[in-house]
Amino acid sequence: MFAGFTIPEGWTIMVVTSALQVNPNTFEDPLKFNPGRWKDLDSHSISKNFMPFGGGTRQCAGAEYSRVFMATFFHVLVTKYRWTTIKGARIARNPILGFGDGIHIKFSEKKN
């Protein structure tokens, strides 16, 4: 028994970190596109609600490298390329974000 919930013997408890990010008790209008949603949160709320790289002593060793890599990748992607979805892209959560039957995208270089 934990916090009023009965956990059957042998069950595994998992934290679905992406679901924490849409908790309306922590984030105002959580489904709105708002990349700055963590900017004004205190460190306690952030450590309990934003953990894409794990937390505590099991924090990801590649977190900073991955952040720089992804920031560079997305910068080049949006400044130098355009894309159109040609098939699929049915977004589903189960509870991890996925694209059902996949997603086909056509990329082309931006012409300035």
Q: Which residues bind ligand HEM (CB under 6 A)?
A: 52-54, 58, 60-62, 65-66
In whole angstroms, give the CA distance from residue 12 to residue 59. 20
Cβ closest to ligand HEM, residue 50 vs residue 53: 53
Cβ closest to ligand HEM, residue 15 vs residue 86: 15
Spatial CB neighbours of 104, under 8 Å, sequence gap ≥ 6: 85, 86, 87, 88
In whole angstroms, give the CA distance from residue 74 to residue 76. 5
Contact 18, 97 (CB under 8 A): yes
Q: How far is the CB of 55 from ligand HEM (least distance, A)?
A: 7
Q: How far is the CB of 98 from ligand HEM (least distance, A)?
A: 15
Cβ closest to ligand HEM, residue 8 vs residue 56: 56
CA angle centred on 26, ends 24 and 28, rounded to 5°: 60
Q: Is 43 annotated to bind ligand?
A: no
Residues annotated within a binding site for heme: 60
Known binding positions:
60
